[in-house]
Amino acid sequence: MQKMTKTQLRKRWSDANFVDQLTIPRDRMPKPSELGGLDLRGVPKLANGEPFWHFAIRDAATQDIDLSFGDGCLIISGSSVSKLCLEEFRKGSDGVKRRI
């Protein structure tokens, strides 16, 4: 992963080309197979606005998700997530039957 400042991480989300190149869907909740190895550092309004209204980790066993310096609502339900990085992730999160 390329090292970036907090400001750079947050600004990249306003770049339509960056958002369009992401490998996870924006119009529906991601499937468990679509969750591994995600660099979502700096993501704004996770599960609470654009670009990821529908983001949740449900019934998945996955790893390597980086949400550092982002904000929003992280929903983890019935899942096991290893190597989840939440450095300075702001706002609330919710989890039911999860192992992190």
Residue 46 token pair:
């996770």
* Residues 43 and 22: beta-carbon distance below 8 Å: no
Q: What's the DSSP call for residue 81? A: E
pLDDT tens readout for residues 71-89: 888 889 899 999 999 998 8
pTM for the structure as a whole: 0.84
* Number of Cβ within a 10 Å radius of residue 44: 15
Query: What are the residue boundaries of the structural domains of the chain, listed by start?
Result: 6-95
Integer Cα distance of 61 and 4 in angstroms: 28
pLDDT for 99 equals 57
Asked if residues 9 and 40 have their Cβ atoms less than 8 Å apart, the reply is no
Write out pLDDT tens, residues 6-58: 889 889 999 999 999 998 998 899 999 999 999 999 999 888 888 888 899 99
